[in-house]
Amino acid sequence: MSTPAISLNDGTSIPWLAFGSGTAFFGKDASKPVTDAIRAGFRHIDAAQMYKNEEYVGAGIAAAGVPRAELYITTKLNKVPEGQTVRDLLVDSLRKLRTDYVDLFLIHMPTLHEDLKATWREMEGVQREGLARSIGVSNFSLRYLREVLEVATITPAVNQIEYHPYVSRAGASLIATHKEHNITTSSFGGLTPLIRATGGPLDAVLTKIAARVAQGSGKAVTEGQVLQLWLRKKGIVCVTTTSKLERLQEYLAVRALPDISDEEVAEIDEVGSTQHHRAFVSFPIALCRVHTDYTVTCRPNG
Ligand SMILES: NC(=O)c1ccc[n+]([C@@H]2O[C@H](COP(=O)([O-])OP(=O)(O)OC[C@H]3O[C@@H](n4cnc5c(N)ncnc54)[C@H](OP(=O)(O)O)[C@@H]3O)[C@@H](O)[C@H]2O)c1
């Protein structure tokens, strides 16, 4: 069964479900998990220069034996060292990932770039050259997105952000701006209400909806799958990950589940908005610097 795809503003499309090589695999040999994910049915692999494991991701992709054209590979730009260019860093990623283009190249963190507008112009250059089919951003709050939009001749196709019901109220104006510019939202941390903010007001709602979908579909349904159905119904890319084979099957099984109803989406939105929990980089981060090892230092009051 194939994964549904979402159309991007540049005419390409992106598979809705992605397997991430960050978080638990940061700096580690992710080759086997990547191979397992592709063999199980994932076709979208999410990588990053910052994860310091692109060689392993490349090895995992090669070992899976699926033709390159059937895969969708995302990677993300790290801080560009003095004397190097965005292109230099992307070419290095392509070598490590064993491919001659990525499907999507994202600026990983706005705060790692002194001159964001200049970085975006370089991103446009690598897309024009064909090294990246699509370009976009990640962890961009409104302020940074507007900065890029001021100079963009190519609108970012995607903004990959932490997104789940416990940040949806805080992220409402950003999502509205995405819609205005036809920028696709991609979510990481989507399972946060279930695994990083347990005991919250959504727990009972997710259990109730899981039971309703299970009854309607005749299939077992988990609370995590309901969170992923919530993203899918909103047209938001779901970037998730796991170190377990059975969890790969749980994620992929979402493809065969029906959409949740508009009323169920509204109930998750409403109950989710009563609690705020951000598990990753927080917005606004204007006064903070995120370092390549994910540590954050902030100026006073930042
Ligand atoms: N752009 C960025 O700055 C950024 C930041 C963070 C992440 N990402 C990307 O997003 C990917 C996904 O990461 P994520 O952690 O955000 O994804 P997530 O979907 O929020 O969480 C995935 C994690 O949830 C665990 N999990 C799933 N169901 C569970 C359950 N029922 N009970 C307990 N644990 C459960 C899995 O652990 P098991 O291994 O036990 O299955 C896995 O580690 C990363 O690998 C990376 O590629 C990007």
pLDDT in tens, 42-54: 999 999 999 999 9
- Which of 51, 72, 144, 166 is the catalytic position? 51
- Is the per-residue pLDDT at 144 higher than 70? yes
pLDDT category, 282, cuts 50, 70, 90? low
Burial class (CB in 10 A: 0-12, 13-18, 19+), 154: middle
At 241, which amino acid appears? T
Known catalytic residue at 101: no
Token representation of residue 65 = 């034996």
Range of the domain at 112: 5-298
108 is in an annotated binding site: yes
Ligand 1, residues 240, 277, 278, 288: which to mutate, most atoms within 8 A of Cβ?
A: 240
DSSP-derived pairing of the beta strands 13-15 and 296-298: unpaired
Cβ atoms within 10 Å of 70's Cβ, excluding its own: 9
Residue to mutate (ligand 1; options 206, 242, 277; most atoms within 8 A of CB): 242
Q: Which atom of ligand 1 is nearest to the CA of 24?
A: 43
Domain count, the chain: 1
CATH number of domain containing 265:
3.20.20.100
Residue nearest to atom 41 of ligand 1 (CA): 242
CA distances from 225 to 231, 262, 275 (A): 10, 16, 20
- Phi and psi at residue 63, to the nearest 5°: -70, -25
Q: What is the pLDDT of residue 287?
A: 41
Q: Is the CB of 244 under 6 A from ligand 1?
A: yes
Distance 97 CA to ligand 1 centre (A): 21
pLDDT of residue 31: 98
Distance CA 298, CA 286 (A): 9
In this prediction, residues 168-175 reach a mean pLDDT of: 94
Q: What percent of the chain has pLDDT over 70?
A: 93
Q: What is the dihedral of CA 224, 230, 232, 234, to 10 degrees?
A: -160
Distances in Å between the Cα of 46 and the Cα atoms of 97, 108, 160, 281 are 11, 12, 11, 18
Residue 132 has pLDDT above 80, yes or no: yes
- Model confidence at 296, pLDDT cuts 50, 70, 90, reads very low
